A and B are shown apart, each in its own frame.
Chain A
Amino acid sequence: MPGAPRSSAVTLAGNPHLSERQAAEVARYAALVERAAAGDAQALEHLLVDAQELAWRFSMTVCGHPEDAEDAMQEALMRTYKHVPQVRNPESFRPWLYRTVRNACLMSRRRRVDEPRHMVPLDDLLPVPGAQAPPASDRRPSGRTPEDVVVNAGLRRRLNAAMAKLPAPFRAVVFLREMEGLSTRETAATLGTSEDNVKTRLHRARLFLQKELAVWREGAPAPVDGRPASRSRKGVRR
């Protein structure tokens, strides 16, 4: 339940900033890397597939070009293959992989023609005070928590379209924090920025996404293909 103290932020992998899920991922990668470095071909193959799939997800979410994604996959494959035998600290592999994939994606990325360069001003993302809030019954359906939200096809398309309207640095933060489950610290390390910067971008992106999703709930048609229905730059200040 959001709002409850985070009791699950335990130190499973020696890092108090990781949740159980994140710590389990770190441990899973560490075990694979140890086996691969010791000559286990199956573990190495598993890591190489994981690296390519991560490169594809990152590239498609943050950059959006299938051709770039293929290039990023190839780059991630070769770099991981060369890196694994040299790993001294297996737990450092996952952050290394995310940084490598991020670099591979940014190296090959082509900017979309309609890609926003700047984030919507904060004032445009905040609600108007005194505006009538929806009835409580609409805002908090009984018996449902946000975790129960089922990502149906319409919501997924709207979310993808809203993501596409975010400038790339904001998209990268949402991707790493919300979709890949990295901690703020891991996200900052991956993107080569500060934790404060990650938080600021995440908060702004969340405000933007909630506004876009609210418009959709109020009756705007969902986009067809995961892109905004219109390629106009409306809502994004250049």
Chain B
Amino acid sequence: MSPRQPATRPAGDCRAQLDELFAYLDAELSLARCRVIERHLSQCPCCDSLAEGLRQAIAACRARGRQRVPAAVRQRARVAARTLVRRR
């Protein structure tokens, strides 16, 4: 990183690779591009840490999955659907 850059900004190279990093995490990169990103991650603790945090955030969202609908709400939905269907 250039010494003129503010300390609070990520290095230009890392920032330029953000889109690639997301594509990598979404498994949308070719094997060749994966290797390039993996090489960068192995050499850049800052990006490696970010990638790990992103993996965990994505995994947490996916593991949360679909929010469970409360039993009372589900029951009301069933009653409303049944009532409508029987009215046909």
Contact = CB atoms under 8 A, between A and B. Distances in A.
Interface of A: 1-6, 41, 44-45, 48-49, 52-53, 56-57, 60-61, 69, 73-74, 77, 81, 123, 126-131, 133-134, 139-140, 146-151, 155-156, 159, 174, 178-180, 199, 202-203, 206-207, 209-211, 213-214
Contact of A210 (B8, B57, B78): B57
Interface string B29-49: 111001001100000011111
B25 A149 contact: no
Where chain B touches its partner, the secondary structure class is helix
A6 B77 contact: no
B27 A3 contact: yes
Contacts of A49: 74, 77-78, 81
A174 B58 CA distance: 9
Contacts of A203: 18-19, 22
A37 B73 CA distance: 26
- Place the interface of chain B in its size category: 35 or more
6 contacts: A53-B74, A127-B10, A129-B9, A129-B10, A150-B63, A209-B57
Given A126-B15, A139-B48, A214-B53, A178 B67 contact: no
Where chain A touches its partner, the secondary structure class is helix
A131 B24 CA distance: 23
